[in-house]
Each structure stands twice: as C-alpha cells, then as structure tokens.
Structure 1
C-alpha cells in the first residue's frame, strides 16, 4: 500500500492538490530518525487513537508519564512504559495484539509534533507500536504553552452520556485545541486541530462542527473520514487536567471557494475530571489562526 489510500486521493483530487500531496508525502517514512527519537524522549504526553475491538467505536485517549516513558527502542519501534486506566474507552484496544493505532506526540513548548502510526503489541509495562508511518507536521494552528508542571491528581469518576451536557458544550466552544482519531481499512491515525476559542461550534447536544483550515495537503484525516466516517475526539483542559472524549461519526462539507467544514455527530461522551496530571501555562495563540467566524 502507498502513502495514500483511495479516501485521501478522493479529497486531494476534489481540492486539486494531488501534485502537492505527492511532494509532501515524501516526508512520510517508516523509520524513527534520531531527531524524532530525541523529540519523543522529551515528551510527557502522548495521544492515542484506535477503534474499540468489541464495539468498533473510535476513541482518542491521552497517556502521560515522566519524559522517556515513550521512546524509540528500534528503527521502527515505539515503546511506551505506561497504560490507560481500565475504564478508559481505549483499554481493550491497547490490550489487543495487532490493533491499528495512531499516536501523536505534541510539544506545546516548541510547537512541534510528530505522528507515528502502526500495529500495537501489549507488553508487561505497556505496549509497543511497530511503525508503518512516521512523520512530523508544521506548527500551524498549534498554540504555544511555554511550560508545564506535574501535579498530584486523582482522576474523578467518569461520566458517560449519549450527548453533551450544557457545561460540556461550553467547554468545547472555549477550546483552542482538540485531537481527532480516525481509521481506514489498513490503519489508524490521530491528528491535532487548533484555532482561537470558538473555532469549534456545538450546535446542539449531539452535533459539533469546525472549519477545516488549509494544511499540508495530505488530507489524511479527511481522507480517512471519506473512507470510514467513524471518529473520536479528545478535548483537554490544559489547566485542571479534565478530559472529554467523544465518539461518533463525521462528514466533510465542501463549499464553493474551497472552504470545508466537518460535522461530527456524538454517539457517546466520556468526561473524566483531573485525568491528566499536567498543568500547562496559559496559551499564546498561533498567529496563523483565523477569526473563528471567518
């Protein structure tokens, strides 16, 4: 299989960027280069995306640890010495040999990020991922947070609902960052979305939408959605550590002039207070962020 599948190709052709996508796609490899390995070992946060093997629902989950908990232990192997809580929506997927998983390491301090997608193997201390795709993204729409501290937190009880509460809708609409997990027939991926607060809209308790800003022309996320509408969203409170995980389906609307909007229908929401033991400094919004109403 090449870098792109039919879903990504369909979106690239619709937008007219196939040649640019071919050029950018040369940056996607299977090896974890030394600079990527060094970057990984500095990160206290890893975001994972996969489909639950029992329900098929796609989720994104955060994983944290002291820097070095996620590191390269081979030319194509990511080893993670940590796991999610047993009640996390991705717990079953991370315990299943051969799970297609997407991982994203993001450093708000430097506005750098890298993605590693592959197949998972559970281990005694966590899991490993044999890389099928490894690549970095530009810092566009990534907010800078210059520092963090690790704090002692006990996760509160998880709250599961079939739609968003009024408080959750307010949380979503105040967010400047979220993560989106998607899948296709041969893999999984997790990506970052960022903008000024208000760039995500909660039109109703079961529908969110956001404008798809111009990016690297690969259209991995929208391509996956064109092939399979299942998706999982992850919203973090960068101060309190609260986590909101959503699963459902998403579709892309293409408007004249090239504007695109993604609409996400919520199937299930899981909210966990104090889930992440990291407290980050206030954001400095990316200069690339357009006005949310633009």
Structure 2
C-alpha cells in the first residue's frame, strides 16, 4: 500500500496539511527500481545534487558533476557516480565511508527531475549506491536553463557562522536552491525548491525563510523536518560555478495566517544557519539566463512582514 512508503514524519505532515488522501495517491509513484526511461535520463545528465550528513551529523547538499554518463544505472537497483565532491566540500571525508544519501538529478532545460535515496559505498572513481526509493517529482517550479561544460579548479573556500551582505544578496536574488534533510533514522533526501527571484527571504545574517508552495503532497522534506530538524541548503551561482552551502536547522510554520500574507504560500519554512561555506569555481558548468516557470507565484514586496 502507498502508506507504507512514508515514515511517521511524512504522514504527520500530510495530516497537518489535510492531504493524506492526495499523499497516498502520489505515493504510488515511489518504487525501489529505476524504470528504463529513467535510466536513459540519468545517463544524459552532467550534474546530480547529493544530500548527506557529515561526521558530526550536520546535513549538507553538494553538487557532483561530470560528462554525460558519469551518472548511470548499473541495473534497476544500483546507481554509480564517477565523481567525487570537491576538495573543500563538507561531505568529502564522510563519503569515503558507507553512508545513507539522497540524490536529485535535475534537467532544467527540459523541466525534469528525479529523486533517488539509498546507501552509498565509495569506489575507486566515486560512489555506488544501492537504492531504496526512486521517483520523479512535479516540474512546476523548475526554471529553464541550458548548460555548457567549462573546466575549472575550485577556489579557496570562505567559511563563516553567518551570511555576509553579498551572500544575502545572492540568496534573495536566487530562483532555485536545493535542500538536504533526513528522517529520524538518518535516511537522507535531496530536493529542489524554486520560485521567482526573491522567494527566499534573508531575515537576518543567520536566518532564512521561504514559502512552501502547492506540490505533490508527499511532504518528503517537511516530513523529515517533523522528526529531524537538521538540514543543509545549496545555492548555485549559475553564471560563475560558485556554490554557497549552508547547514543548520529548519522548521515549518504551519500557522495559516502567516502563510496567507505570502503569495502562493501554503505554509512557511524557517531556517537557522550554523555554518556557511562559499567556494568559487566549484562547479565546471555554466548555465544560460533562466526562463522562469510560469507557475512561480509572485513575490511579496521587500520589507513587508508575513
């Protein structure tokens, strides 16, 4: 039954949202094997976003990149990634040992994305992942972009406990970010969030807030946050290849009155930052200017409180 694919936090979030029936319907898409069409999709991708916990249990989201074919399905239950995180990535050391991981393969040019969760073991060239869950997601809030390969060497990382003014501008100008979470047992997940530039609000140097829009009612991310608040965020600079990685804790504000003040919001998510890592030239991909999704709700004018 579809309910069996959800853990206690996901079911709790579905109940709070009044969407148990829709969640059960959407859960039929979750499987343990990769369909043939999805195997072809994976082989075409130059990037996958991976979510995992570091050695201290903090969640991070990280990009892995390579020429098409670096990410592939060896069989219906196993993924191989012929790439490692960059030398300054916070998951570099953790992924030298077996670890639960969540992965998101996303193709902005064709508004497609696919999530895969499982158990990774290191290989000579990267990772091999035994899959537990495989499913596609609604493409509503994906901004259309075309990519090109541009070899580069990662720059020196900038680490801090809070956001600089430039980093806050980066975040509030973003139309996309990625989020890593896990359930109570440590099973990891990586997901995508998109919206019109300005949909993420930098409340302070250590706090962010964004709206949760209408989706498929699976509540994988918010369900994880119901039982485990640790989360990691990844912002890409699509023009330069720089990355901004944040770790901290997140919680969902389920108060309808506050969500009603934000266009399109079903609820709000608030994130408290504990560490920031910015790495120039971390990704050897450059992307075209976006064509924003027609499904993006408008953004509340700056300065208006929810």
| TM-score bucket of the superposed structures, by smaller chain | over 0.9
- For 2:72, the equivalent position in structure 1 comes to 71
The answer to whether structure 1 residue 119 and structure 2 residue 126 are counterparts is no
SS in 1 for 2:109: coil
SS in 1 for 2:256: coil
Q: Are the equivalent residues in 1 in contact too, given 2:101–2:188 (CA < 8 A)?
A: yes
- For 2:43, the equivalent position in structure 1 comes to 41
SS in 1 for 2:119: strand
Structure 1 segments (4+ residues) deviating >6 Å:
none
Question: Matched residues in 1 for 2:239 and 2:88: separation?
Answer: 23
Match of 1:273 among 270, 280, 285: 280
For residues 103-135 of structure 1, what are the alpha-carbon distances to aligned partners after superposition, in whole Å with 9 as ceiling and x for unaligned?
000001101000000001111111111110000
Aligned-residue offset at 1:154: 1.8
Question: Matched residues in 1 for 2:88 and 2:155: separation?
Answer: 12
- For 1:51, the equivalent position in structure 2 comes to 53
Aligned-residue offset at 1:87: 2.4
- For 1:149, the equivalent position in structure 2 comes to 148
SS in 1 for 2:168: helix
For residues 146-168 of structure 1, what are the alpha-carbon distances to aligned partners after superposition, in whole Å with 9 as ceiling and x for unaligned?
x2211122211001100000100
- For 2:293, the equivalent position in structure 1 comes to 286
Question: Matched residues in 1 for 2:80 and 2:4: separation?
Answer: 25
Question: Matched residues in 1 for 2:40 and 2:244: separation?
Answer: 30
Question: Matched residues in 2 for 1:161 and 1:209: separation?
Answer: 19
The 5-angstrom pairing of residues 195-274 of structure 1 reads 195-256=195-256, 259-274=266-281
For residues 211-233 of structure 1, what are the alpha-carbon distances to aligned partners after superposition, in whole Å with 9 as ceiling and x for unaligned?
00110001000000011000000
- For 2:167, the equivalent position in structure 1 comes to 168
- For 2:263, the equivalent position in structure 1 comes to none
Aligned-residue offset at 1:18: 0.5
TM-score (norm 2): 0.93
Question: Matched residues in 1 for 2:256 and 2:242: separation?
Answer: 38
CA RMSD of aligned residues (A): 1.2
For residues 59-105 of structure 1, what are the alpha-carbon distances to aligned partners after superposition, in whole Å with 9 as ceiling and x for unaligned?
000010000000000110000111112321011221111x1100000
For residues 170-202 of structure 1, what are the alpha-carbon distances to aligned partners after superposition, in whole Å with 9 as ceiling and x for unaligned?
000000000000011341100000000000000
Question: Matched residues in 1 for 2:174 and 2:182: separation?
Answer: 24
Aligned-residue offset at 1:292: 1.5
Question: Matched residues in 1 for 2:272 and 2:237: separation?
Answer: 22
Q: Are the equivalent residues in 1 in contact too, given 2:86–2:154 (CA < 8 A)?
A: no
Question: Matched residues in 1 for 2:50 and 2:148: separation?
Answer: 22
Give aligned pairs, total: 291
SS in 2 for 1:109: helix
- For 1:84, the equivalent position in structure 2 comes to 85
SS in 1 for 2:224: helix
Question: Matched residues in 2 for 1:226 and 1:181: separation?
Answer: 14
Question: Matched residues in 2 for 1:152 and 1:128: separation?
Answer: 24
